[in-house]
């Protein structure tokens, strides 16, 4: 089974490793359109490095999700970049806020329980 191992974003280029395939037919999409400049370098018959440049023009407010898939249509994975004011409306930001509020409520509840049992 073809697998994508994420290696992360460095110097404006996202890096990954595609394993368990002899000849990867991979494309990277952003908003349904192919990303240009993607390179695939073969390490051996089953391992291939993928490099996806993140162009400055795609860095806008909000979340940008790059989808990595085989040209046959099977999705291998994705990576997401978030920037600017649009992050305030993002679901992840909302979850982080909810977690922080929950921690605050838990501390207040524990303090209340400690005071009433003393």
With cut-offs at 50, 70 and 90, classify the pLDDT of residue 8. very high
In this predicted model, what pLDDT tens digit does every residue of 41-92 receive, in sequence order? Answer: 999 989 999 999 999 999 988 889 999 998 887 899 999 998 877 666 677 7
Do 75 and 89 share a domain, yes or no?
A: no
Question: Residue 22 is part of a domain; what is its CATH number?
Answer: 2.60.40.1130
Kindly give, in sequence order, each residue whose CB lies less than 8 Å from that of residue 110, ignoring residues fewer than 6 positions away: none
Least confident of 5-9, 28-32, 69-73: 69-73
* Residues whose CB falls within 8 Å of the CB of residue 17, separated by 6 or more in sequence, listed in order: 4, 5, 7, 43, 47, 48, 49, 50
Domain that holds residue 69: 3-83
Task: Confirm if 17 and 5 have CB atoms less than 8 A apart.
Answer: yes
93 and 49 within one domain? no
Same domain, 75 and 99: no
Q: What is the pTM (predicted TM-score) of this model?
A: 0.73
Same domain, 32 and 66: yes
> 68 and 28 in one domain?
yes
Rounded CA-CA distance 82/9 in Å is: 13
Check whether residue 58 and residue 115 sit in a common domain. Answer: no
């Amino acid at each position: 089974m073809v697998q994508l191992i994420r290696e992360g974003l460095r110097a404006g280029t996202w890096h990954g490793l595609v394993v368990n395939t002899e000849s990867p037919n991979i494309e990277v999409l952003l908003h349904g359109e192919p990303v240009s400049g993607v390179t695939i370098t073969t390490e051996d018959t089953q391992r291939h490095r993928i490099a996806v440049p993140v162009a400055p023009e795609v860095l806008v407010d909000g979340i940008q999700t790059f989808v990595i898939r085989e040209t046959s249509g099977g999705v291998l994975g994705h990576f997401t970049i978030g920037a600017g004011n649009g992050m305030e409306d993002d679901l992840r930001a909302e979850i982080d806020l909810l977690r922080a509020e929950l921690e605050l409520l838990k501390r207040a509840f524990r303090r209340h329980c400690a005071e009433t049992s003393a």
